[in-house]
Homo-oligomer: A and B are copies of this chain.
Amino acid sequence: MAKEVLYLKIANIIQEQIFSETLKIGDKLPSIRTLQKLHNVSLNTIKQSFLELESKSLIESRPKSGFYISKTSNRKLSIPSMNKLKLSEKQTSSDDLITKVFNSVNDKSITRFSLGVPDPSLLPLAKLNKGVVKAVRNLEESGAGYEPVQGSINLRRNLAKWSFVLEGKLTEDDFVTTSGAINAIYNCLMAVTKRGDTIAIESPAYFGIIQMAQTMGLNIIELPTHPTTGVDLDALKKVIHKISVCCFMSNFSNPLGSLMPDENKEELVKLLTHHDIPLIEDDLYGNLFFGTSRPKPCKYYDEAGIVMWCGSVSKTLAPGYRVGWVAPGKFKEKIIRQKMVQTVSSPSLYQEVIADFLEHGRYDHHLRNFRNTLYTNSLHFQRTIEDHFPENTKISQPQGGSFLWLELDKRIDTALLYDTAIRQKIGFVPGRIFTQHDQYNNCMRLNFALEWKEKVALDLKRLGQLIKNSI
């Protein structure tokens, strides 16, 4: 048999197994060497088979892990649309809706597509507990004393070492630890704004930043944001003279899952540097990439020190630990001052646990597993939604993170749908929460950082049915 035919034959066998769902989305393929022995052919033949399947987007490689079944190119559903700049539209609060959604997130009888944090089953809780017991023994004065305002030196040192993506540009002295990334952002905003200033954010944007800016008396400009490539820089340029500060999630934004291309990040930093506008970069999903490597943050392009790079372990490891940090560039002294007047210092214990996790590679190990789970889940979710939601559903195509953003038929009001769904013990977040304007009423955010099991699949299908029933 000719070599060309041979590799195609093997590719067809695998393709058949995928179409018959013998091999399911997210499954790992046998290694090249295993298949070589199985089919008694050369390594190159198997490699050609894989290339063929890859070209059809049926499989994809993940670094240091192997090849996995994917089907992302065969999407039946289109991606959500991008909204226009709404400078004159009146701003309204969605506080009541936020309160309603929040009140249900601690109810464990609900399938919580609404949550913004990973399901505990996906976290290495036993290892974390061991870390706590170890840290208690090692802490000076048992952690009962104050640590320096800037935060645990051990954590800051490990953060600097571990921030490979910054290529050694940061040292322990460049970090300030905070009570989660949200507290880092709060400190940044307190440090560089005053009541009446204007902040530019993505749209849709994480509701926490909207509530925070409103509470501080800031004006908010929501910039059009592309579901794939993130904030629209042309729109930003149009309003740049009104803006005191920007707060963006450049990598896998919440809720869209968008990823700014490197050239956009570079252009953004240049633009803001030129206008001397600080950028608060909320990069707490940056390590949850589905691709081959961690995307760069805007901080990478920051030469003037205008980028305040915020991170945490809240979306990856331990939300309740409230361990976050910021590399605040030229605003460091202001951030330390803010932290001092607000709370003097942070508790050391959990910072030491995280430092130890970083130092001994346990965090990276966990992240590798967690990313694989998230990616596989995202495929399961997309496939289930394709099969069980209305055909005019639009769905984001995140390349990382843990959220899907759905745009439904115009006639659907997801705030109303929420009440129906929650009665059936299914939670999601209505789109209206992610904006200060009267929009995204037919949108919803789904969290896929859950354990993918029968019950979850079933509830996702039931949610699709509820939507169909509402049209």
Judge whether A271 is part of the interface by a CB distance below 8 angstroms. Answer: no
Give the CA-CA distance A350 to B148 in the complex, in Å. 19
Q: 0/1 per residue, A337-351, Cβ < 8 Å to B?
A: 110111111111110
A418 to chain B, nearest CB (A): 20
Interface residues of A in 281-298 (CB under 8 A from B): none
Neighbouring B residues of A170 by C-beta, 8 Å: none
B106 A148 Cβ-Cβ under 8 A: yes
Judge whether A132 is part of the interface by a CB distance below 8 angstroms. Answer: yes
Judge whether A120 is part of the interface by a CB distance below 8 angstroms. Answer: yes
A345 to chain B, nearest CB (A): 7
A289 to chain B, nearest CB (A): 22
Give the CA-CA distance A229 to B104 in the complex, in Å. 49
A320 B141 Cβ-Cβ under 8 A: yes
Interface residues of A in 141-200 (CB under 8 A from B): 141-148, 179-180, 182-183, 186, 194-195
B136 A129 Cβ-Cβ under 8 A: yes
Neighbouring B residues of A144 by C-beta, 8 Å: 120, 123, 125, 128, 317-321
Known contacts A180-B343, A343-B186, A350-B347, A120 near B106 by CB under 8 Å: no
Interface residues of A in 106-149 (CB under 8 A from B): 106, 117, 120, 123, 125-126, 128-129, 132-133, 136-137, 141-148
Neighbouring B residues of A106 by C-beta, 8 Å: 148
Known contacts A125-B144, A132-B136, A136-B133, A322 near B347 by CB under 8 Å: yes
Neighbouring B residues of A128 by C-beta, 8 Å: 142, 144
Give the CA-CA distance A405 to B471 in the complex, in Å. 74
Give the CA-CA distance A227 to B186 in the complex, in Å. 38
Which of B146, B183, B318, B319 is A342 in contact with, Cβ under 8 Å?
Answer: B183
Could you list 11 examples of A-B contacts with CB < 8 Å? A120-B144, A120-B145, A126-B142, A128-B142, A128-B144, A179-B342, A180-B343, A180-B344, A208-B341, A212-B341, A347-B350
- Write the residues of chain A forming the contact surface with B, with a CB cutoff of 8 angstroms: 106, 117, 120, 123, 125-126, 128-129, 132-133, 136-137, 141-148, 179-180, 182-183, 186, 194-195, 208, 211-212, 215, 217, 317-322, 337-338, 340-350
4 nearest A-B pairs in the assembled complex, by CB-CB distance: A144-B318, A212-B341, A125-B142, A183-B343
